[in-house]
Amino acid sequence: MATELLTATGRRKNAIARVRMNPAGKGKVMVNGRTLDKYFFTVEQKINTLKPLVVAGMKDTTDISADAMGGGLTGQAGAISLGIARCILKLNEANRPMLRKAGLLTRDPRAKERKKYGRKGARRRFQWTKR
């Protein structure tokens, strides 16, 4: 099973990522056909994406290929991170405690709150005038 290609899905906000992991790789990470550095601009997004590999100690030994769609770049980074964590879990169940402790196995349920009627946004009210 070590040479097998592992797949998993990750979600965050409105973003969905299909992640494929090759455990017998050289540490190459591709997102939507581009390298990680060309796809994500901020350092925080890059770190967040690769966090499961760093925690499991597999950063330089696995190849990652991800197809991310929907949402923004931060949501896509979180979705890819969850997908990678799930792939690592499929590879070796013994990694569960360290991934769980780092909070990488829980899907972040936070999403944009819907706009309500009579309001300017989800919570912001229209300006009140006395006269």
CATH number for position 27: 3.30.230.10
pLDDT of residue 131: 86
> Is residue 73 included in any domain, yes or no?
yes
pLDDT of residue 8: 96
Amino acid at 90: K
Q: Under DSSP, is residue 19 helix (H, G, I), strand (E, B) or coil?
A: strand
> Is residue 126 included in any domain, yes or no?
no
pLDDT of residue 50: 95
> Is residue 111 included in any domain, yes or no?
no
> Is residue 41 included in any domain, yes or no?
yes
> Is residue 82 included in any domain, yes or no?
yes
Number of domains observed in the structure of the chain: 1
Question: What is the domain range of residue 93?
Answer: 6-101
> Is residue 23 included in any domain, yes or no?
yes
pLDDT of residue 1: 47
CB atoms within 10 A of CB 40: 22
Q: What is the pLDDT along the chain (131 residues), one digit of tens a residue?
A: 446 899 999 999 999 999 999 998 899 999 999 999 999 999 999 999 999 999 999 998 999 999 999 999 999 999 999 999 999 999 999 999 999 999 999 999 999 999 999 999 999 999 999 98
Q: How far apart are CA 93 and CA 80, in angstroms?
A: 19
Contact 70, 14 (CB under 8 A): yes
> Is residue 106 included in any domain, yes or no?
no
> Is residue 20 included in any domain, yes or no?
yes
